[in-house]
Amino acid sequence: MPEPLTIWTYDWVPGGEGGPRGYVRDVRLRWACEEAGLDYAVRSVPFDDRGPAHLARQPFGQIPFLEDDGIVIFESGAALLHLAGKSEVLMPRDRRGAAETLQWIVAALNSMEMVSVPWWFIGLSGKADNPLEGWMISRLEHLETVLAARDWLAADRFTAADLLMADVLRVPKVRRFGNVPALAAYVERVCSRPAFAKARDDQVAYFAAADARRESAN
């Protein structure tokens, strides 16, 4: 019998207002497994010490990575596509629906997140001028046009593309950015799914439990 799917994340991340809990990217994979009804376990690598064993499985020292019956896949987008291959819930099986889902998954990674994450990162410095501001506005406006005309990105129904795009857009600073009402309604719609709440709440609880372990170790 094959091992169940295992989602690897950090053993702990900082808590508190504005902290990463609820946003760490293992949420994407937990959420996908919840939507698809796939059994999974969650295991962790040390947050404080990202050593050779971690780098051998994730060469950029990040998480998550997914273990599936002896195979390890890093990059949350790649792991999501791998999971999509296991369930029609995540990706339709007809050529057109599959192609639409694939293109919007990559759009979330390489057209939206490629701008929003560096924009967000530069914004942490608190400086008034963000050199990526215009690019960010342009990408959100293009996406607003798409979402003003339909509820879901691909195949006229929820797919893994919505899961990923909503996860990119729900980051507070992105979500509250500018006048993009269709985009805001879209994020609400996708994130109101019970599978999202389960995935996020489980992640928050996982890291909260680690607080107690760290305290008793000190």
Report the nearest approach of its own copies to the CB of residue 209 (Å): 29
Report the nearest approach of its own copies to the CB of residue 86 (Å): 12
CA angle 4/6/8 to nearest 5° reads 175
**Is residue 156 left, alpha or beta, with left meaning phi > 0 and alpha meaning psi from -120 to 50?**
left
Token digits for 47?
């947050």
Report the nearest approach of its own copies to the CB of residue 111 (Å): 5
Name the site residues for its own copies (rule: CB under 8 A). 55, 59-62, 68, 70-71, 73-75, 77-79, 81-82, 95-96, 99, 102-103, 105-107, 109-111, 113-115, 117-119, 121-122, 125, 131-132, 135, 139, 142-143, 145-146
Closest C-alpha to 64, from 215, 216, 217, 206: 206
Which CB sits closer to its own copies, 9 or 206? Answer: 9
DSSP 94: S
Report the nearest approach of its own copies to the CB of residue 118 (Å): 4
Which CB sits closer to its own copies, 101 or 203? Answer: 101
